[in-house]
Amino acid sequence: MSNIIATSAQDKSFPRGWIPIGYTINWVTPPPAPDTAEAQAAMKKMKKDYEAAVGGVFAALQAGEAISDKIDAANAAQDTILASMHYEPEVKGPHFPEDEVGPWEVNVCGKSLVLWRDTQGELKCIDNFCRHMGAKLSIGEVNGDNVQCPFHHWEWGSDGVCKDIPYCDMIPPKAKTDTFQIKEKNGLVFLWHCPEGTEPDWEIPEMAEFNNADWTPWTVTTEIIDTHWKELIDNISDKAHFGPVHDAPCSHFENVFEAHTALQINHCNSSTLGNLISHATYYGPSYQITEWVGELPDNLATEDGELINSRIEQPVKVADGMISDGYNFPVLDTDFNAFAGLTEEDGKIMTPMGEELTYKGKKVIKVPGAKHNVRMLNAHMPIQLKALGADSDSFRLFTGVMIKKIEGLSDEESAGIGAAYATASMNAFFQDVWIWKNKRYEPNPVLCAGDGAINKLRKNWYTQFYKSE
Ligand code: FES
Ligand SMILES: [Fe+2]
């Protein structure tokens, strides 16, 4: 018997379940770092330049020479890195704001659908192509509870029935189209997709953290990725890639598969996100929420409480005796009175010259590293399949982060840390994307003992979302 895991159903059809198709919350975060091989190579070079510039500061310091020019050069090198990690997106993705009515077009699971809000503000969804002569309803208008076709102004209700033809009193009995169930949950919009037309038999759970004053709002971002979403699914069990790809080797890893849920328990030490204990659960084929407790290293603040976190994305070199590992420490910021190599004496933070450290002329104090309680969204919407004639397999990735507000910090400071986490976690995602773009799908991988339950995941869990052939 062949043990090829990928079924032809998975190559030629779309999964059954609640599929995220967009969001109602506001766009907050900058997008992730570029993910092309060229961009990765450029990033490596920028990091090398930066390390060389930092080396120049150390060398000048040791030789007793002036260091301010060298610090400027190192700052400039670091700013180049930071600038390359943040760019404005051109496409903001499917956003259905609560105060707009649409109509909007969504291409999901090989179909073109139209969404709009009725007079109650509820999202409705039907097939996008008008059953009269095929115009896209999404380029028409919303009229009360209905969507009006731009071509001959036939109006369609959310029950898929034509409600009005301006030039004819007799509506043809066949003037009916397909309808789709939509639910708004946790700031996202979900579509129930079932190729066989059956009703939902499970629900997406409400998140207690969403719209909760103790938590920051979602910081979300989205991107279309031209590969099969099965690559993303494999991540649930792919224990061995966390070290090489994310620089976050696991010390403990396990999967628990139960009905439509798949849990990943992962304890790891991430070079960018700190020590993490994460519990990530897929609810159905396309929507995963991660609950993680992270630990950030010590931070610095001015004596009047201004948190100094201007360089949060960029780890810096660590010198002996420093109180911070640099993760969250603007070591080369010229607003400081001294360069790295700090020590701690009687609770004071001292420079290498034996003076107390200052920032913008104010004394600097240490803020002990805090635990962070984080929720992360990883959701995807299958778009199209090569096997069905599309140019490529593709899916839309939605990711988001919210953090529990930290006692003693203002909402802005918590939101700032949330945004920094979101950027770091998106960058981690795009480390995967880079691999996906440079691999093929292996239906029958040669696995070893340390690989995690990839076969169990594919065979026993994910296939439940496809009809058997
Ligand atoms: S095509 Fe839509 S009204 Fe004619
Ligand atoms: Fe990954």
Ligand 1 atom 1 nearest Cα:
133
Instruction: Please answer whether residues 366 and 300 qualify as being in contact, where contact means their C-beta atoms are separated by less than 8 angstroms.
Output: yes
Residues 343 and 393 in one domain: no
- Compute the distance between CA of residue 334 and CA of residue 359 in angstroms, rounded to an integer: 9
Residues 286 and 326 in one domain: no
Domain end, chosen from 313, 342, 369, is at 369
Q: Is the CB of 151 under 6 A from ligand 1?
A: yes
Strand 371-384 relative to strand 307-308, pairing: unpaired
Q: Is the CB of 133 under 6 A from ligand 1?
A: yes
139 in a structural domain: no
pLDDT by 10s per residue, the chain, length 469: 333 344 567 778 999 999 999 998 865 544 445 556 676 677 778 778 877 887 787 777 778 787 778 777 877 776 676 566 544 443 456 889 899 999 999 999 999 999 999 999 999 999 999 999 999 999 999 999 999 999 999 999 999 999 999 999 999 999 999 999 999 999 999 999 998 889 999 999 999 999 999 998 887 778 888 899 999 999 999 999 988 888 788 999 999 999 999 999 999 887 666 678 889 999 999 999 999 887 665 666 777 666 665 343 333 333 343 444 433 344 445 566 665 556 667 777 777 667 787 877 888 776 666 677 889 999 999 999 999 999 999 999 888 888 888 777 777 767 766 666 666 666 677 778 778 878 888 888 899 988 888 988 998 899 999 977 5
Identify the pLDDT of residue 30: 45
Residues 418 and 282 in one domain: yes
Residues 416 and 276 in one domain: yes
Residues 336 and 436 in one domain: no
Output the CA 239–ligand 2 centroid distance in Å. Answer: 9
User: Which ligand has the minimum distance to the alpha carbon of residue 140?
Assistant: 1
Residues 288 and 427 in one domain: yes
Pocket test for ligand 1, best of 126, 127, 130, 177 (most atoms within 8 A of CB): 130
Return the ligand 1 atom nearest residue 130 CA.
2
**SS3 per-residue string spanning the chain:** CCCCCCCHHHHHCCCCEEEEEEECCCCCCCCCCCCCHHHHHHHHHHHHHHHHHHHHHHHHHHCCCCCHHHHHHHHHHHHHHHHHHCCCCCCCCCECCCCCCCCEEEEECCEEEEEEECCCCCEEEEECECCCCCCEHHHCEEECCEEECCCCCCEECCCCEEEEECCECCCCCCCECCECCEEEECCEEEEEECCCCCCCCCCCCCCCCCCCCCECCCEEEEEEECCCCHHHHHCCCCHHHHHHHHCCCEEEEEEEEECCEEEEEEEEEECCCEEEEEEEEEECCCEEEEEEEEECCCEEEECCCCEECCCCCCCCCCCCCCCCCCCCCCCCCCCECCCCCCEEECCEEECCCCCECEECCEEEEEECCCEEEEEEEEEEEEEECHHHCCCCCEEEEEEEEEEECCCCCCHHHHHHHHHHHHHHHHHHHHHHHHHHCCCCCCCCCCCCHHHCCHHHHHHHHHHHHCCCC
Residues 279 and 308 in one domain: no
Return the ligand 1 atom nearest residue 152 CA.
3
Output the CA 102–ligand 1 centroid distance in Å. Answer: 18
Instruction: Please answer whether residues 327 and 297 qualify as being in contact, where contact means their C-beta atoms are separated by less than 8 angstroms.
Output: yes
Output the CA 155–ligand 1 centroid distance in Å. Answer: 9
Instruction: Please answer whether residues 279 and 292 qualify as being in contact, where contact means their C-beta atoms are separated by less than 8 angstroms.
Output: yes
- Tokens at residue 131, please? 């059953």
459 in a structural domain: yes
Q: Is the CB of 135 under 6 A from ligand 1?
A: yes
Output the CA 169–ligand 1 centroid distance in Å. Answer: 16
Identify the pLDDT of residue 368: 61
Q: What number of other Cβ atoms are within 10 A of residue 335's Cβ?
A: 12
Output the CA 196–ligand 1 centroid distance in Å. Answer: 28
Identify the pLDDT of residue 328: 38
Instruction: Please answer whether residues 286 and 17 qualify as being in contact, where contact means their C-beta atoms are separated by less than 8 angstroms.
Output: yes
For 44, counting Cβ atoms within 10 Å of its Cβ (0-12 exposed, 13-18 middle, 19+ buried), the class is exposed
96 in a structural domain: no
Return the ligand 1 atom nearest residue 133 CA.
1
216 in a structural domain: yes
User: Which ligand has the minimum distance to the alpha carbon of residue 135?
Assistant: 1
User: Which ligand has the minimum distance to the alpha carbon of residue 266?
Assistant: 2
Q: Which domain holds residue 246?
A: 8-19+210-296+371-381+388-465
Q: Is the CB of 152 under 6 A from ligand 1?
A: yes
Instruction: Please answer whether residues 86 and 70 qualify as being in contact, where contact means their C-beta atoms are separated by less than 8 angstroms.
Output: no
Residues 395 and 450 in one domain: yes
Identify the pLDDT of residue 89: 42
66 in a structural domain: yes
Residues 375 and 455 in one domain: yes
Output the CA 74–ligand 2 centroid distance in Å. Answer: 31
Instruction: Please answer whether residues 298 and 367 qualify as being in contact, where contact means their C-beta atoms are separated by less than 8 angstroms.
Output: yes
Residues 375 and 248 in one domain: yes
Output the CA 189–ligand 2 centroid distance in Å. Answer: 25
Q: Is the CB of 154 under 6 A from ligand 1?
A: yes
- Compute the distance between CA of residue 172 and CA of residue 141 in angstroms, rounded to an integer: 22
How many folded domains does the chain comprise? 3
Residue with tokens 């849920």: 261
135 in a structural domain: no
Ligand 1 atom 3 nearest Cα:
152
Output the CA 152–ligand 1 centroid distance in Å. Answer: 5
Residues 307 and 438 in one domain: no
Pocket test for ligand 1, best of 126, 151, 168 (most atoms within 8 A of CB): 151
64 in a structural domain: yes
Identify the pLDDT of residue 312: 36
Residues 287 and 376 in one domain: yes
Ligand 1 atom 4 nearest Cα:
152
Q: Is the CB of 132 under 6 A from ligand 1?
A: yes
At 32, the amino acid letter reads: P
Q: Is the CB of 130 under 6 A from ligand 1?
A: yes
Q: What is the CATH number of the domain that holds 290?
A: 3.90.380.10
- 306 HSE (CA, 13 A, CB side): 10
460 in a structural domain: yes
Output the CA 421–ligand 2 centroid distance in Å. Answer: 16
